[in-house]
């Protein structure tokens, strides 16, 4: 199971607490984790990635083991710390708006 931490507003939308877990079939990548997240919590579709292009929304960032993965290729394999559940996959709302 992969641990995922959502920003507060998305927790409210998904009716979940601080952290959730999703099961990924096959290789764990940015794409497969987000696919699994949206399958389990369909109310999040369109809030993290565009419905059609699947591109990350501009003001959201992905963090993996203290590194910014926002610009990594969608099929990049996530590190073992994320796959094993030792570290959470972080989806963060960018600080913007003054």
Partner 1 sequence: MSKVRVLVGTRKGAFILSSDGKREKWDVSGPHFAGWEIYHMKGSPADPNRIYASQCSGWFGQIIQRSDDGGKTWHQPGTAKDQPPPPPGPPVGESNKFVYDASEQTGKPLTTHQWYDGTQHPWEFKRVWHLEPSLTEPDTVYAGIEDAALFRSTDGGQAWKELPGLRGSDTGPRWQPGAGGMCLHSILLDPSNPKRIFIAISAAGAFRTDDGGKSWKPINRGLKSEYIPDPNAEVGHCVHHIANHRSRPNTLFMQKHWDVMRTDDAGDNWREISGNLPTDFGFVIDVHAHEPETVYVVPIKSDSEHFPLDGKLRVYRSRTGGNEWEALTKGLPQSDCYVNVLRDAMSVDSLDSCGVYFGTTGGQVYTSADAGNNWAPIVHDLPAVLSVEVQTLP
Please give the residue ranges that form the binding site for partner 1 (CB under 8 A): 7-10, 13-15, 38-48, 51-52, 57, 59-60, 93-94, 96-97
Phi, psi (5° rounding) for residue 3? -85, 135
CB nearer to partner 1: pick between 59 and 73: 59
Q: Which is nearer to partner 1, 56 or 82 (CB)?
A: 56
Q: How far is the CB of 40 from partner 1 (least distance, A)?
A: 6
Closer of 14 and 77 to partner 1 (Cβ)? 14
Residues 9, 57: contact at Cβ < 8 Å?
A: no
CB of 66 to partner 1, least distance (A): 22
Determine the Cα angle at 10 with ends 51 and 48, to 5°. Answer: 25
Spatial contact of 56 and 48, defined as CB atoms under 8 Å apart:
yes
What are 72's two structure tokens?
A: 């990594």
């Amino acid at each position: 199971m992969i641990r995922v931490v959502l920003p507060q507003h998305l927790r409210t939308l998904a009716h979940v607490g601080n952290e959730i877990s999703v099961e990924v079939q096959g290789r764990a990548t940015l794409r497969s984790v987000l696919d699994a997240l949206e399958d389990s919590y369909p109310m999040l579709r369109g809030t993290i990635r565009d419905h059609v292009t699947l591109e990350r929304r501009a003001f959201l960032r992905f963090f993996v083991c203290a590194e910014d993965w926002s610009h990594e290729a969608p099929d990049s394999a996530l590190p073992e710390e994320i796959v094993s559940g030792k570290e959470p996959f972080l989806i963060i709302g960018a600080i913007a708006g003054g």
